[in-house]
Structure 1
Amino acid sequence: MYFYYALPSLLAPHLVNLVVVSLATSATVSGKEAARWRRIASMAMAVVAGIDVWSVSTYNHGANARATRPSDLDMYFWTSRALRPVALGVLNLAIAALIYVSSTNRLFVSPVDPATRVAAVTRQLLATKSKMSAVGIIKNTSLRDEDLRTRTAAYWTHEGRLMREVMEDREVVEGINDALANRIQIQAITQDAENYALNMLPDLKPVVPVAKVG
C-alpha cells in the first residue's frame, strides 16, 4: 500500500529527465542528427524507470525488522535515492556521446539518399548559373555604356603597353628563356590545354552525314 503512495515521487525524476531528453533530441532544437536517437533515448529512459520501480516494489523491506544492530540495517531506500540521479546522469551522458559521434560522422554514419544529393547538386548548379548570368549582365552593361566601354578600352590599352614594356626587359626575357628551357614542360602544358578545351567545347559533328559519292 505504501508503495503506491511513494510511486509518484519515485517516478518524478524519471519523468523530468524524460522531458529534458525529449527536448534535447528534438529536431527543432538539436536538428535531425539528434532526432534519430530520440526513440532509443525514450526507450532507455522507460527501461531505467521500470527497473527502478521493479527493484523498489520487490525489495524485502521487512528484513530490517529482524536486525538487532545498526550495522545490520540495509539502507536500501537511501542508497537507491542517492544512486537514482547518478544512473540518470550516466544515461544522459551516454545519449550525449551517441549524438556527438553521430553528428560529427565519427560513428553511425548514415549515407545521404540520392534525392538529397541530387537536390544539393541542383542548388549548386542554379547558384553557378545565377553567377554566370550576373557576369553576363555586367559585361553587357559595360559594353553598352559608352563611358564604361571607354574606360575598359583604356585599361586594356594601358595593360598591353605595360606588359610590352615588362617583356622587353632583359632580366625578364632571360628568366622566361631559362624557365622554358629548364623548368617548364611546354608539351605537357599544351596537352593539358588541349584536353581542357576538348572537355569544355562540344564535339562539333555534322548534323547531316556527308554522303560518299562513288
Structure 2
Amino acid sequence: MTPRTEHRPQMSVEEFEEFERHAPESVWLEFIHGKVVVKPMADGNHREMIAWLQRVCMQHRPDLWLHSESGLQTEKYRKGRARADGVLVSVGGLKGQGEWSEADVALMAVEVTSYDSDTNQRDRVEKPDGYAAAGIPVYLLIDRDDCSVVVFNQPEDGHYRHAEKLPFGATVTLPSPVDITLDTEPLKELAD
C-alpha cells in the first residue's frame, strides 16, 4: 500500500491575513495552496503592460474597469489569497469588498510574468488552477519569458478546459464575458 500524503497548510487563511497586514510594503504576500508566497514588486515594463491593458479595456468596454494589484479570494472554498496584477470587474464591482475581494466579482484575472525563480510555478501552474477553482471566467497570462499571451477560459472542476497561446503581435480575442479583442503588437516593445 502506498502511504497517502495529506496537504497541510502552513497556517489558516485568517492567520495569513493577519501576517500579510504586518508585512513590509516592499513585498506582496499571497497564500497559494496553503503556502505563503512572496511575489516580487513589479518593474517598469510590467507596470506599463498593465497600464496598456487598462487603456485597451477602457476603450473597448467602458462599463468595465481593470484594477491593478488587487487581492482575490481564490482556490476551492476561497482558501487561497492571490494578489492579481489585474482584475477586470464591472464599474463599481469592488464597492464594499475588503482587501481580499470575492472572486465572483471578477470577469478576468491578469498576470504578467516576473523575472524570478517562482514565476513558472506561480503564474503558469498554481494561479490558473486557483482562478479556475474560484470560477473566474477568464485568466489572461502575459508571459514575458517567451513573448506570448495565454488566454485561459471555461473553468471547470478547478481547471480551465481551454487555453490558447499566441505570440506578442497577434490579435487576441478575450472570450465572453470579457468580449475584447487585443492587438498585442505594443507588448513587443515592453518585452525586455
Which category of TM-score, normalised to the shorter sequence, fits these structures?
under 0.3
> Which structure ranks higher in relative contact order (CA pairs < 8 Å, sequence separation ≥ 6)?
2
**TM-score normalized by structure 2?**
0.23
Larger-gyration structure (1/2): 1
Q: Give TM-score scaled by structure 1 length.
A: 0.21
